Copies of this chain bind each other. A is one copy, B any other.
Amino acid sequence: MSDFKDFIGSEKGPQCPRVYILALTDTLNVISGKWKLPIIAALLRGVNRFKDLLDSTEKITPRMLSKELKELEINSIVERKVYNQTPVLIEYRLTNSGKDIANVIDSMIDWGMIHRTQVITKTDAGEGS
């Protein structure tokens, strides 16, 4: 497991390797923005078609959905499969990497929940600003 702290947490530690920075900004690009996580969540739930993603992702416009799906496809997070039936069927599916991002989401949820309890505890009992 990589350990950012080892590189960046010490007063005069080694520089953070560039591959770490690249990996980090990749990840940030994949999850940043208003719609990426809602779309990934829908795909994880097994929603795969454009129309269904439109309906299940509250208030997103087709323009944004189209744009986001393209970005996710370019970054190998989703695959687009065309089935030449009529009416044409197009399915978006998470790649293995795409599925694995659930681990990142988990660690974000963990931090967020602990952070909330810590902030609330401080606000209740602390020296309050």
Contacts and interface: CB of A to CB of B under 8 A. Distances in A.
Given A4-B105, A24-B37, A76 B111 contact: no
Interface of A: 1-5, 8-11, 13, 16, 19-20, 22-28, 31-32, 37, 41, 44-46, 76, 95-97, 99-116, 118-119, 122
B114 A100 contact: yes
Contact of A107 (B44, B99, B103, B115): B103
Given A8-B41, A9-B44, A1 B106 contact: yes
B37 A112 contact: no
Contacts of A5: 44, 102, 106
A44 B16 CA distance: 12
